Amino acid sequence: MRAVKLLAPGVLELQELPAPNGVTDTTVRIKVSACGVCGSDLALYNGRRDLSGEHYFGHEFSGVITEAGNTANGLAKGMRVASELVKGCGRCWYCRNGMQNYCTSLNDALLPGGFAEETLVLNTDAYSFLSPIPDSLDDITATILEPANCAYHVAMRANIKPGDSVLVIGLGAIGLIAALILKTLGAGKVIGADRSKLRLEQVRRTGLLEVVDTAETGWMDQVREMTAKEGVDVVVEATGAPAVLKDTLMIARTGGRIVVPSVYFGVVEGFEPLPIMRKELTVIGSKGPAPQLKTDGTSAVVDKVMELKEGLQKIIAVYDYKDALQAFADARSGAAIKAVIQF
């Protein structure tokens, strides 16, 4: 099978590999249609994460089930699916304390991952990382399901109230999708912010958000003028740059909420935490995907992706698997908001 293999930091290679074998009652085999490039994939590529401990590469994929194991969770051969955490075991400490996003590592769930024509995926009565997708959702847009799940978790952590003003700093895929979801959940003014001229222009062209340039002096004053002048109700810090956390404490209003889905690889120099107390701020983390289910047990995120499909398609850049190196280069530079590799 064809695969995009990460051999070492900065070294990607297109390879022909044996198809993964060993389908059991607890796994399904997926013929991968497409896979998105995540920030965590870039962290591996950039050498910020230890590659030696990773068993998989790529987790934002769509495809078709070719072998279904024991058909747990209703997954059957021939079914179109996309990756998304939809079920935890319910018994571990994390699940029992409402943190199903910590239940099972993807290292134990995917082999070799979505940057290959086929991958095995763990699927048991107690765990599922796949959601069936409707015929009206194309394979490319379906790769957004997993990052949309992460963004939905951000929105839930924000505890949005009708009319709340929101500032999303960092207009990569997670930040943008979170902004769109927060709009649908009743947020009032939603503003995007970034310091990349390229990214700001891309978002302006989509027409999805009003944006401000954080590289400009006085950008916080611009945001205050666009809201209630005391600061914003909710700030989402999605840049991954530790220093930006200081800005969130300044721009949030008294009593405001700050949600941090960023994966940081550094420290915050000169950090002044006093505003957390003085302004009674709530600062809360948001890690990865978590089950977001309707009362019938099916994914709420699939419906949300369908609702936002037209807007989501504006942020996707599609690459043939032979152009995987370019996909990663464009994802790194910001030339692509969401790069998707198609097999």
CATH number (domain holding residue 12): 3.90.180.10
Provide the pLDDT for residue 21.
87
**Same domain for 211 and 325?**
no
Residue 303 lies in a domain: no
Is 104:153 a contact under the CB 8 Å cutoff?
A: no
Provide the pLDDT for residue 54.
86
Provide the pLDDT for residue 240.
92
**Same domain for 19 and 103?**
yes
Whole-structure pTM value? 0.96
Q: What angle do CA 137, 138, 144 make, to 5 degrees?
A: 80
Rounding to the nearest 10 degrees, give the CA dihedral for residues 321, 323, 327, 328: 90
Query: Scanning the structure block, which residue is given the tokens 């030339």?
Result: 335
Total residues belonging to the chain? 343
**Same domain for 158 and 280?**
yes
Residue 277 lies in a domain: yes
Is 338:147 a contact under the CB 8 Å cutoff?
A: yes
Q: Is the peptide bond before 273 cis (omega within 30 degrees of 0)?
A: no
Is 257:159 a contact under the CB 8 Å cutoff?
A: yes
Tens digit of each residue's pLDDT, the chain (343 residues) = 999 999 999 999 999 999 998 899 999 999 999 999 999 999 999 988 888 888 899 999 999 999 999 999 999 999 999 999 999 999 999 999 999 999 999 999 999 999 999 999 999 999 999 999 999 999 999 999 999 999 999 999 999 999 999 999 999 999 999 999 999 999 999 999 999 999 999 999 999 999 999 999 999 999 999 998 889 999 999 999 999 999 999 999 999 999 999 999 889 888 999 999 999 999 999 999 999 999 999 999 999 999 999 999 999 999 999 999 999 999 999 999 999 999 9
Residue 8 lies in a domain: yes
**How many whole angstroms separate alpha carbon 173 and alpha carbon 312?**
9
Residue 295 lies in a domain: no
**Same domain for 191 and 252?**
yes
Provide the pLDDT for residue 266.
87
**How many whole angstroms separate alpha carbon 264 and alpha carbon 96?**
27
CATH of residue 229: 3.40.50.720
**Same domain for 99 and 175?**
no
Q: Which residues span the domain enclosing 256? A: 150-285
Is 48:95 a contact under the CB 8 Å cutoff?
A: no
Residue 111 lies in a domain: yes
**Same domain for 262 and 312?**
no
Q: What is the domain count for the chain? A: 2
Is 196:211 a contact under the CB 8 Å cutoff?
A: no
- DSSP letter (8 states) at residue 336: -
Residue 290 lies in a domain: no
Q: What angle do CA 90, 104, 22 make, to 5 degrees?
A: 115
